[in-house]
């Protein structure tokens, strides 16, 4: 997705060879028009797949997932990293290991909000080592629903997430794929086509 890559090039900050900061349009500030276009692009890619529900993870997944659910006209649920005071239901819970934070955290979703036989599209802002994606897939499996695919805004293709997911047979659609962050610079697998 060219416009997303242009945003990354113009506004992203390479913190180190592993970490890209996109706080001005995706992770902290959010660019609403870009999110709308991201939702439309995921909708184009998954529009024929009979998606009944979108599952994402708070907080940074919510904006692209909401715009996708609006475009696909399907329901949206976000897994929580902490238990809410109103989460009195039984929960599906999975553990996610974060390499960057070097910690394990639980993610969960109310059982009533993920039904058997649903066709689920997982949306997330980043794909790196695939651990958050695997946690979300685990929640869907616990519900006996199907993962139709994963829609990722930014894939760090130099990390093993995509390979892990594809080896398990999952379809991964990433809107921007980054081959490396060396020399303080973002390099995409496919170069940008237009000027910003």
- Which C-beta is closer to a second copy: that of 43 or that of 170? 43
Contact assessment for residue 169 and residue 141, using Cβ atoms and an 8 Å cutoff: no
Q: Report the first-to-last Cα separation within the chain, whole angstroms.
A: 13
Examine residue 4 and tell whether it contacts a second copy (CB under 8 A): no
Contact pick of 36, 45, 111, 119 for a second copy (by CB under 8 A):
36
Contact with a second copy (CB under 8 A) among 66, 121, 132, 186: 66
**Binding-site member from 6, 11, 30, 146 for a second copy (CB under 8 A):** 30
Report d(CA 8, CA 154) in Å as an integer. 9
Measure the CA–CA gap between 108 and 67, rounded to whole angstroms: 22
Q: Which of 6, 9, 27, 159 binds a second copy (CB under 8 A)?
A: 27
Q: Please say whether the dihedral angle defined by the alpha carbons of residues 63, 51, 150 and 186, taken in this order, is positive or negative.
A: negative
Query: Which residue from 2, 10, 49, 100 is in contact with a second copy, where contact means CB under 8 A?
Result: 100
Shortest distance, position 113 Cβ to a second copy, whole Å: 5
Taking residues 101 to 140 in sequence order and writing x for each that binds a second copy by CB under 8 A, - otherwise, the string is x-------xx-xx---------------------------
Question: Interface with a second copy includes 47 (CB under 8 A)?
Answer: no
Residues β-bridged to residue 56:
78
CB 186 within 8 A of CB 14: yes
If one asks whether residue 67 binds a second copy (CB under 8 A), the answer comes out as yes
Q: How many CA atoms lie within 13 A of 23 on its CB side?
A: 6
User: Helix, strand or coil for residue 75?
Assistant: strand
Name which position in 24, 115, 142, 179 contacts a second copy (CB under 8 A).
24
Q: 54-83: buried (b, 16+ CB within 10 Å) or exposed (e) per residue?
A: bbbbeebbbbbbbbbbbbbebbbbbbbeee
Report how far residue 76's alpha carbon sits from residue 88's, in angstroms, rounded to the nearest whole number: 19
**Contact flag: residue 80 with a second copy (CB under 8 A):** yes
Among 1, 62, 164, 192, binds a second copy (CB under 8 A): 62
Kindly list the residues in this chain that would bind a second copy in the complex (CB under 8 A). 13, 15, 19-24, 27-33, 35-36, 58-59, 62-63, 66-67, 69-70, 73, 75-78, 80, 84-89, 100-101, 109-110, 112-113
């Amino acid at each position: 997705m060219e416009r997303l890559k242009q945003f990354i090039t113009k506004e992203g900050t390479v913190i180190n060879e592993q970490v890209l900061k996109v706080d001005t349009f995706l992770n902290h500030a959010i660019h609403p028009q870009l999110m709308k276009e991201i939702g439309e692009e995921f909708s184009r890619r998954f529009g024929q797949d009979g998606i009944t529900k979108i599952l994402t993870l708070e907080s940074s997944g919510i904006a692209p997932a909401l715009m996708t659910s609006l475009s696909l006209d399907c329901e949206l649920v976000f897994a929580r990293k902490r238990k809410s005071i109103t989460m009195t239901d039984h929960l599906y819970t999975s553990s996610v290991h974060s390499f960057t934070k070097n910690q394990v955290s639980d993610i969960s979703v109310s059982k009533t909000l993920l039904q058997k036989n649903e066709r689920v599209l997982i949306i997330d802002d980043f794909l790196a080592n695939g651990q958050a994606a695997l946690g979300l897939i685990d929640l869907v499996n616990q519900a006996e629903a199907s993962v139709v695919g994963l829609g990722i805004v930014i894939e760090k293709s130099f990390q093993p997430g995509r390979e892990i997911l594809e080896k398990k047979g999952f379809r991964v659609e990433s809107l921007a794929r980054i081959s490396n962050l060396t020399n303080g610079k973002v390099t995409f697998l496919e170069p940008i086509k237009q000027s910003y």
